[in-house]
Amino acid sequence: MSNSRFVNRFRLRVEKQIHTSPWISLLIPFTSIVLALLVGAVFLSLTGNNPWKVYGVMFKGAFGSVFGLSECVVNAIPLLMTGLAVALAFRMLLWNIGAEGQFYMGAFAASWVALSFPHAPMYLVMPGMLLAGFAGGAVWGLLPAVLRAFLGVNETLTTLMLNYVAILWVDSLVYGPWRDPQGYNFPLTAQFSSAATLPTLGNTRIHAGVFLALAAAVVIYIILKHTVWGYEIRVIGESQKAAKYAGINVVKNILLVMLLSGGLSGLAGYCEVAEITHRLQESISAGYGYTAIIVAWLGKLNPWAIMVVSFLFGGFLVGGYTMQSAGLPAATVSILQGAILFFVLAGEVLTRYRICVVERRNDR
**Which residues would be at the binding site for other proteins (CB under 8 A)?**
38, 41-42, 45, 50-52, 61, 65, 67-68, 71, 74, 171-172, 175-177, 179, 183-187, 203, 205, 276-279, 281, 283-286, 318, 321-322, 324-325, 327, 329-331, 356-357
- Of 50 and 239, which CB lies nearer to other proteins in the complex structure? 50
Torsion of CA 50, 53, 58, 64, to 10 degrees: 180
Q: Do 58 and 322 form a contact (C-beta atoms < 8 A)?
A: yes
Q: Between 61 and 137, whose beta carbon lies closer to other proteins?
A: 61
Give 118 or 327: the residue with its C-beta nearer to other proteins.
327
Q: 183-192: long-range contacts (C-beta < 8 A, 24 or more apart)? A: 187/281, 187/282, 188/279, 188/280, 188/281, 189/111, 189/115, 189/279, 189/280, 189/281, 190/115, 190/118, 190/279, 191/278, 191/279, 192/111, 192/114, 192/115, 192/118, 192/273, 192/274, 192/278, 192/279
| Least distance from other proteins to the Cβ atom of residue 170, Å | 12
Residue-wise over 124-143: b if at least 16 C-beta within 10 A, else e? ebbebbbbbbbbbbbbbbbb
| Helix, strand or coil, per DSSP, at residue 18 | coil
Q: Which is nearer to other proteins, 129 or 318 (CB)?
A: 318
Minimum Å gap between C-beta 300 and other proteins is: 25
Quick check: 162 and 144 in contact, CB under 8 A? Answer: yes
Task: Please tell me the distance from the alpha carbon of residue 13 to that of residue 160, in angstroms, as a whole number.
Answer: 32
Q: Under a CB-based contact definition with an 8 Å cutoff, are residues 166 and 105 in contact?
A: yes
Identity of the residue, 222 or 355, whose beta carbon is nearer to other proteins in the bound complex: 355
- Smallest gap, in angstroms, from Cβ of residue 327 to other proteins? 8
Nearer to other proteins, 243 or 271 (CB): 271
Q: How many residues comprise the chain? A: 364
Q: ∠318-96-173 over CA atoms, to 5°?
A: 70
Task: Give least dist CB 315 to other proteins, A.
Answer: 12
Nearer to other proteins, 67 or 304 (CB): 67
| 23 within 8 A of 341, measured Cβ to Cβ | no
- What one-letter code names the amino acid at 323? M
d(CA 290, CA 277): 20
- Cβ nearer to other proteins, comparing 35 with 341: 35
What is the nearest approach in angstroms of other proteins to the Cβ of residue 168? Answer: 8
- As measured in angstroms, the least distance from the Cβ of 84 to other proteins is 21
Minimal distance in Å, beta carbon 305 to other proteins?
A: 25
Q: Work out how close the CB of 280 gets to other proteins at its nearest, in angstroms, rounded to a whole number.
A: 12
